[in-house]
């Protein structure tokens, strides 16, 4: 899949999430799924991206019954190009590991990295018309704001 191919079909809502292990991410993606018909009526395409392995992305898509694109950003290259990639600090690595989650195994990477949760609304010319990047992983772009932004394009 290529972003420019999707942009040829309409504006793109590109959202980065931490992984299917994150309950806040799951709530966000379910909310976006519910609003997907409204996005599509406005010509919008929804793409969700995480650093988790392709197998984990596919099983997440199936488990949550998501009908939009759910993609893997191996090694965080796409997230890095949007300047939202960060190294997980040692104390959080320890906390994740204590909860049984090794991000290097889950994401099939050698680094402890995650994207900030972020959503970008990109018009058909490839211009980011709205971005929502907040370091607090519990806060996400409201679904209605996406609809309101798509109406402006």
Distance CA 1, CA 96 (A): 31
Q: What is the pLDDT of residue 55?
A: 86
Distance CA 74, CA 76 (A): 5
Walk along the chain (153 residues) and give the pLDDT tens digit of each residue.
788 899 999 999 999 999 999 999 999 999 999 999 999 999 999 999 999 988 888 888 888 889 999 999 999 999 999 999 999 999 999 999 999 999 999 899 999 999 999 999 999 999 999 999 988 999 999 999 999 999 999
Q: Give per-residue burial for 49-82: e unless 16+ CB within 10 Å, then b.
A: bbbbbeebbeebbeebebebbbbbbebbebbeeb
Nearest to 131 by CA among 143, 144, 146: 146
Element (H, E) at 48: strand 45-50
Strand pairing partners for 131? 120
Contact 15, 31 (CB under 8 A): no
């Amino acid at each position: 899949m290529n972003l420019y191919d999707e942009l040829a079909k309409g504006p793109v809502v590109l959202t980065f999430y931490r992984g299917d292990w994150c309950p806040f991410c799951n709530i966000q993606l379910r909310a976006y799924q519910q609003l997907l018909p409204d996005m599509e009526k406005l010509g919008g395409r929804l793409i969700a991206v995480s650093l988790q392995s392709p197998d984990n992305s596919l099983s997440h898509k199936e488990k949550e019954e998501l009908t939009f694109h759910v993609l893997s950003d191996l090694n965080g290259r796409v997230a890095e190009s949007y300047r939202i990639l960060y190294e997980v600090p040692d104390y959080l690595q320890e906390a994740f590991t204590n909860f049984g989650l090794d991000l290097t195994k889950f994401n099939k990477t050698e680094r402890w990295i995650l994207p900030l949760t972020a959503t970008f609304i990109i018009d058909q010319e490839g211009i980011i018309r709205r971005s929502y990047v907040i370091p607090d992983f519990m806060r996400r772009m409201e679904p209605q704001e996406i609809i309101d932004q798509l109406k402006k394009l």
